[in-house]
Amino acid sequence: MPRTSKQATGNIVRDFLSVADLLEEPQLAQLYTYLAHEGKATVQDVIDDLGLAQGTAYSYVNRLVDTGVVEVTQTEQPRQYAANEIDLTVTASKDRQYTITPALIDAVGRRETNDDIDTYIDRHGVAGLATALTYAVARERGEMTHRLMAQDLDISPLAAEIILQALGPVVDEYYEIESSGASLDAIDVDQFDT
């Protein structure tokens, strides 16, 4: 269920607030990402695979169902749940837009287990992480370097490299990017004298 489709029915504020919960609470983001990857899962699956306490797992699943980002797919016991697709674009100013996608939600969820992402969000916020994710995709495409990112965002090259490396697994998981650059296999070794 694309989150942008509700604009016509007047539910865009509810949609934004439901996604905002995911961006502010890393455990909710982890749960959403888990359900998106699994397709369908029960609360017991969530407990077993994410290591959440039973009460916490039920509470989080119910919160996500109430906000509309997760739906019940099987009403018989044990109930199964699935994540709805999220694709919401937020305009922060005339020249700044952020698209909230499952990749960004996954990156926020990794805050719990990745100190580099956690530190970056503390310093630059989720909007800064969304921008860094855009740069990480461009880097994987061979269109950007950490130095250019650092210059564009007025951060140190080291900080840029650290967050780009931390976001690398997210980019690999969500974006199909052909590798750039030549491989050693493309070099004809026989043409050189050794």
Cβ–Cβ under 8 Å, residues 42 and 50:
no
The answer on pLDDT for 181 being more than 90 is: no
Q: Can you give the pTM of this predicted structure?
A: 0.77
pLDDT in tens, 66-87: 888 899 998 889 999 999 888 7
Domain boundaries for CATH 1.10.10.10 within the chain: 3-83
Q: Cis peptide before 78, with omega less than 30 degrees from 0?
A: yes
- What are the distances in angstroms from CA 140 to CA 33, 74, 120, 126, 178? 22, 39, 19, 21, 8
Convert the pLDDT of each residue in 122-180 to its tens digit: 999 998 999 999 999 999 999 999 999 999 999 999 999 999 999 999 999 999 887 55
Q: Is the pLDDT of residue 189 over 60?
A: no
Q: What is the CATH number of domain 3-83?
A: 1.10.10.10
